[in-house]
Amino acid sequence: MGRIHVLSEAVANKIAAGEVVERPASVVKELLENALDAGSTRIKIQVEAGGKKLILITDNGCGMVRDDALLAFERHATSKIKNAEDLLSVSTLGFRGEALPSIASVSRLRLETRTPEETSGTVVDINGGKMIRVEEAGLPAGTSIAVRDLFFNIPARKKFLKSESTELSHIASLVTHYALAHPDKHFELHSATNAMLIAAPVAGHGERVYQVFGKDTLDQMLPVAAVLPLERIGLPQPPPWRREELDEQEGSRDPGELHVHGFASKPEIQKLNRNSMFVFVNGRLIRDRLIQHALIEAYRYILPPTVFPVVLLFMEMPAAEVDVNVHPSKTEVRFRQQTVIHDFVRDSVRATLMKARPVPQFTAEINARPSATPGLSPGAVLETAQANTAWRALYEPGGFSLTAPVAPPLSQRFQFEGGIAVDANAAVSLARAPASVVPDTGCATPLPDLDEEVSLGSLSTLKALGQIRNSFILAVNEDGLWIVDQHVAHERVLFERVLRQRSAQRVESQRLLMPLLIELTPAQQAVFAEISNELQLNGFEAEPFGTRTIAVKVSPAGLDASQIEHMLQELLDQFSREEQKLNIDTVRARIAASIACHAAIKVNMPLEQNKMEWLLSELAKTECPMTCPHGRPVVLRYSMKDIQRAFKRI
C-alpha cells in the first residue's frame, strides 16, 4: 500500500498558519489589509495583553453577505483574484485567500459583518478552525473580527511569543506605519483603556507624519518626491509564438509611471540598524533588500558606513510592474524592472539630500548616540491620548521587525529615538558615534538646528578668523559662528575632485624621482591584481617587481611619496578584509576616499589666511559639504540664536 496521503483541510490550515501567523502583529497586519481592501475609511483596532488575549478590529468597509462570510474561511477562497492571469496585476493587498482560515485555525475567532445593502448581518464563531455558530443578527454595516487566545491550541507556538509589551510594540509600530501610508483614512489603536493612536483623515503624508509624530520629527526629515515615466512594461517575456501579437497590444499600452515619495532623514539622524527604513509599494508594507540597498547607496559617503537613516518611502507603480506573489506573508515582492527601480530610488533620495544640504548645528545633547531603536517617536497623538509606557521600541532579528517607538513622557518634546534635542545654551558637542563608528573621536558630531534652517550654500559668505590649535578654522557670517575641521573639509574637496577627474579620465598625476618599492603580503597581492586597473585609472603606475614587491613609478598629484606606501597598504588591507565581492563603484569611491584622506591638509598644521579662505570657498562648491567621505561632519555652526540665548539676550 502506498504511504502518501493528502492532508486534511484542518492540518493544511495549520501549516499555512505557520507561515502567515507568526505573532499577534501578523494577525493585525492581515486583518488591517483586509479592512483596507474592503474600502474602509475608518478602522479601529483594540488589543488586550499585547494581542495575545484579544485583537478586535472593526471597519466600515463593504462587509460580506452570509454566504461570503462562510466561504471566507475556506482555504483559497478570495474575492480578489479569479485566474492565474490576475496574479500578474494584483491591485489589492490580499489575494491568496489564506489569511482568515489560517488565523481561525489557531484562535477563537468571531466575525460580525453586514453589507450596507442588507438589513441584517451575520455572526460566525470559529474555535481552532471548527465552525461552532452561524447566526443572523442586527449589526452595523461593515465588518468586525475578534481574535481571542491566539495559539491556544498550539502551546509550542504560544511559548515563542514575547512579553506583552513587546508584542504590543510590534502591533503599535505596524498600525502606525499603515496609518502613515493611508493618510486619507481614520485609524485608531487602543490597548486596554489606553488610546495609543488616533489619527483622523488628513490631506497628505506630510500632515500624517506631523499628526502622528509631531513637528520636530517632521523637521528632521526631508521630503522626497519624484516621478519616472516608465519606458516599457516589465511583465515577463511571453513565449516566442505570442510575442508578435502581444508586442502589438503593448505598443498601444501606456507603460505608466513610477512615483517615489516620502521622507528621508537628515544626515544627523543615525540608527544602528536598518529597521527604520520603511518601504511601501502600492500601499503594501514590505521588506525589500533591493530598495534597502538603494537607500543605503543614496546615503553613501553622507552617513558613516555602519549607521543607517530613517526613511519612509512610498512607491506607486502599475500593478504589472511588481510581483507580489513571492512570499507567504506577502512582505516581500519582486520588481519586474529591478535596475530601473533601484537606481531611481537611489537617485531620487540622493538628489533630495544633495539639494537640502542641511547644516549641522553646534549645540548638542550630551548623550546623543546612534540608536538601535527603529522607527520614529510618536508625538502629539500619543500625548493627547495619554499613551502608557507599554510603547517600547525593540529590535528583534528575524521578527517582522516593525517595532514600536517609545512614548515620550508628557512634558518632553517630541524627538527621534536616540534623542535629538537641543540643550539651549550648551556650546558642547560630543561625538555621537561610538569609537567603532567614527574612529577619530576628536571629531564632533553635530546636531541639527531646530530653530533655523540654514543651507550650506551660505558657506560661500564665510570670513575666516583664524585657527584653533592649528586644526579647526573659525569663521563667521550672518548666520553665526562656524567651526570647520580643516582636514575633513579638504578631504571632502579632494574626494569630489578625484571622482570627477576619474570619471572624465583626466586624473592629474606625478612621476616619482625614484620608483617606490612596496612589499605586499599574499592577501594584498591578490587584491592588487584585482584593482590594479582601477588604480591606474586613478593616476597610479605600478608594476610587479620580483615576486612579492611592486614598484610605484607614478602617483596621483598631491600625494607625498612618504604617504603612498601607507595609503596603498591601508587600501589593499581594507579590500582584503571585505567578504563580499567588490563592485566597481565601491572600488572607485574607496580609492578616491583614500587618496583624499592622505593628500588632505592635516590637523596641527598652521594655515595662512588666504589658504583658509581658499579652503572655505572650495568647500562651498562641493556637492556635499556636510560630511567627509567617511561620514564625519565637516562644519559645525553656533547659530545667532544660540549665541543670543547663551548671553541671555532672548
Ligand X SMILES: Nc1ncnc2c1ncn2[C@@H]1O[C@H](COP(=O)(O)OP(=O)(O)OP(=O)(O)O)[C@@H](O)[C@H]1O
Instruction: Determine which residue in the list 98, 288, 485, 496 makes contact with ligand X, applying CB under 6 A.
Output: 98
Residue 29 or 357 with smaller CB distance to ligand X: 29
| Residue 636 binds: one of Mg ion, ligand X, none (C-beta under 5 to 8 A by kind) | none
Number of residues that bind ligand X (CB under 6 A): 22
- Chain centroid, CA 452 distance in Å: 26
Residue 99 CB, shortest distance to Mg ion, in Å, is 4
Examine residue 34 and tell whether it contacts Mg ion (CB under 5 A).
yes
Query: If you count DSSP H runs as helices and E runs as strands, how many of each does the chain have, helices first?
Result: 18, 24
Does 26 participate in binding ligand X (rule CB under 6 A)?
A: no
User: What's the closest the beta carbon of residue 161 comes to ligand X, in angstroms?
Assistant: 22
Total interface residues for Mg ion by CB under 5 A: 3
For Mg ion, the closer CB: 34 or 509: 34
**Rounded to the nearest whole angstrom, what is the least distance from the CB of residue 41 to ligand X in the complex?**
13
As measured in angstroms, the least distance from the Cβ of 35 to ligand X is 5
Which one among 13, 34, 105, 127 touches ligand X, defined by CB under 6 A? 34
Residue 563: other Cβ atoms inside 10 A: 15
- Least Å distance, CB 282 to Mg ion, is 15
Residue closer to ligand X, measured from CB, 30 or 297: 30
Which residues inside 124-163 make contact with ligand X, applying CB under 6 A? Answer: 143
Asked if 333 interacts with ligand X (CB under 6 A), we say no
CA 3 remoteness from chain centre = 49
Judging by DSSP bridges, how do beta strands 311-316 and 277-281 pair with one another? parallel
Stretch that binds Mg ion, among 90-98, 185-193, 356-364, 409-417 (CB under 5 A): 90-98
User: Can you tell me which of 64, 154, 228, 277 binds ligand X, judged by CB under 6 A?
Assistant: 64
Beta-bridge partners for 147:
55, 109
Asked if 458 touches ligand X (CB under 6 A), the answer is no
| 3-class DSSP assignment, residue 102 | helix
> 579: exposed, middle or buried (C-beta count within 10 Å: 0-12, 13-18, 19+)?
exposed
Give the CB-side neighbour count of residue 174, counting CA atoms within 13 A. 27
Q: In whole angstroms, give the CA distance from residue 33 to residue 55.
A: 14
Q: Which class for 3: exposed (0-12), middle (13-18), buried (19 or more C-beta within 10 A)?
A: exposed
- Indicate whether 94 belongs to the interface with ligand X (CB under 6 A): yes
Stretch that binds ligand X, among 60-68, 369-377, 607-615, 634-642 (CB under 6 A): 60-68
Among 80, 158, 162, 274, binds ligand X (CB under 6 A): 80
Q: Which of 43, 54, 62, 592 binds ligand X (CB under 6 A)?
A: 62
Nearer to Mg ion, 330 or 497 (CB): 330
Give the whole-angstrom CA distance, residue 588 versus residue 84.
45
When CB distances are held under 5 to 8 angstroms depending on the partner's kind, the choice from Mg ion, ligand X, none that residue 144 binds is none
Between CA 240 and CA 86 the distance in angstroms is 21
Which does residue 470 touch among ligand X, Mg ion, none (CB within 5 to 8 A, set by kind)? none
Q: How far is the CB of 106 from Mg ion (least distance, A)?
A: 16
Can residue 99 be called a binding residue for ligand X (CB under 6 A)?
yes
* Burial bucket for residue 65 (CB in 10 Å: 0-12, 13-18, 19+): middle
Other beta carbons within 10 Å of 442? 11
Residue 502 C-beta: closest distance to Mg ion, Å: 51
Least Å from the CB of residue 33 to Mg ion: 5
Least separation in angstroms between CB 74 and ligand X: 9
Q: Give the footprint of Mg ion on residues 92-131 (CB under 5 A).
A: 94, 99
Helix (H, G, I), strand (E, B) or coil at 517: strand
Whether the CA torsion 454, 459, 462, 466 is positive or negative: it is: positive
How near is the Cβ of 94 to Mg ion at its closest, in Å? 3
Nearest Cα neighbor of 142 from 121, 115, 124 is: 115
Using CA atoms, how far apart are residues 46 and 28, in angstroms rounded to an integer?
A: 10
Q: Which one of ligand X, Mg ion, none is in contact with 61 (Cβ closer than 5 to 8 A by kind)?
A: ligand X
Q: Which residues contact 592 (CB under 8 A, 6 or more apart)?
A: 495, 498, 499, 502, 538, 629
Residues 112 and 144: beta-carbon distance below 8 Å: yes
Residue 95 binding target from Mg ion, ligand X, none, CB below 5 to 8 Å by type:
ligand X
Residues 6+ apart with CB under 8 A from 317: 230, 256, 257, 258, 259, 281, 282, 341
| Chain residues in the site for Mg ion (CB under 5 A) | 34, 94, 99
| Chain residues in the site for ligand X (CB under 6 A) | 30, 34-35, 38, 59, 61-64, 72, 77-80, 94-100, 143
